[in-house]
Amino acid sequence: MEPVAAISVIPVKGMPLFRPGMSVARELLDAIHRRGEGLDDDDVCVIAQKIVSKAEGAIVHLDDVEPGARAKEIAGETGRQPQMVQLILDESIEILRATPAAIIARHRCGHVLANAGIDASNVESGEEGTVLLWPRDPDASARAIRDEITAISGKRPAVLIADSMGRAWRIGTTGAAIGCAGLAVLDDQRGRGQDLFGRTLQATVIAVADSIAATAALAMGEGAEGTPAALVRGAGRWVSNEDGPGAASGLRPVAEDMFR
């Protein structure tokens, strides 16, 4: 394959604040239209997890959470709110590490990240004590948003739902794919490609969706200046009409995890 000509990430400004029941697909299309951009079948629409969660109503009041014995124990060891720890336990299938610095959990969707992805920032205004969970099934959310984009616009871009995650050995977060529809999560070149000297590539599996999510998250930004969506152009070789197996297919199986 030829190298890509260029990959561009365009933040979609002017998205509204999301409330439960709002349509991410419709608001995204409206914002793209107001921006004067078009949408093509080989574009990738990157959407921040937080607006998908808000639209799906994945908001919890910490006061409504009753912490159990294990949550109280971990809260004591880590200096966290017991209600928050209970939610992390509820959202996880495994706690890998729990220290005052971080609680690293394997989310029920399989992703390993701090606090099981629960976010206390950017929840509804004035509602101290509310937190945002991940969408119930981020890959299903991506497929549903993609179908709605297609139904409204007639175009079928890929949809990638992104969240920021820490890494085991590197400081700071990068965007990663938690939900995908129509985008190759992995580009497996093992045994297929050859290097410049005709040798078979040994172990080259490129994490396409995470790579795109990383720069998209950087362009979208965090905090008050953040825009919760971006259009990615030039990655069409990894976009397909079929939704594919989703972001979950990019997770290392637990049996192969060397760092539990």
Binding to its own copies (CB under 8 A) within 19-78 occurs at none
Does 100 engage in binding with its own copies (CB under 8 A)? no
- Positions 106 through 165 that interact with its own copies (CB under 8 A): 106, 111-112, 114, 120-126, 164
Amino acid at 218: L
Binds its own copies by CB under 8 A, chosen from 100, 154, 197, 242: 197
Binds its own copies by CB under 8 A, chosen from 30, 59, 62, 97: 97
Torsion, Cα 159 207 211 242, to 10 degrees, reads -20
Does 190 engage in binding with its own copies (CB under 8 A)? no
Tell me if 159 sits within 8 A of 180, measured CB to CB. yes
Cβ 212 to its own copies shortest distance, Å: 6
193, two tokens: 């490609």
Does 93 engage in binding with its own copies (CB under 8 A)? no
Cβ 70 to its own copies shortest distance, Å: 20
Cβ 51 to its own copies shortest distance, Å: 11
Helix or strand holding residue 140 (H, E): helix 138-153
**Binding segment toward its own copies, per CB under 8 A, in 26-34, 72-80, 87-95, 96-104:** 96-104
Burial level of 246, CB count in 10 A (0-12/13-18/19+)? buried
Question: Who contacts 46 (Cβ-Cβ below 8 Å, separation ≥6)?
Answer: 9, 160, 161, 162, 175, 212, 213, 216, 217, 220, 229, 230, 231, 232
Cβ 184 to its own copies shortest distance, Å: 10
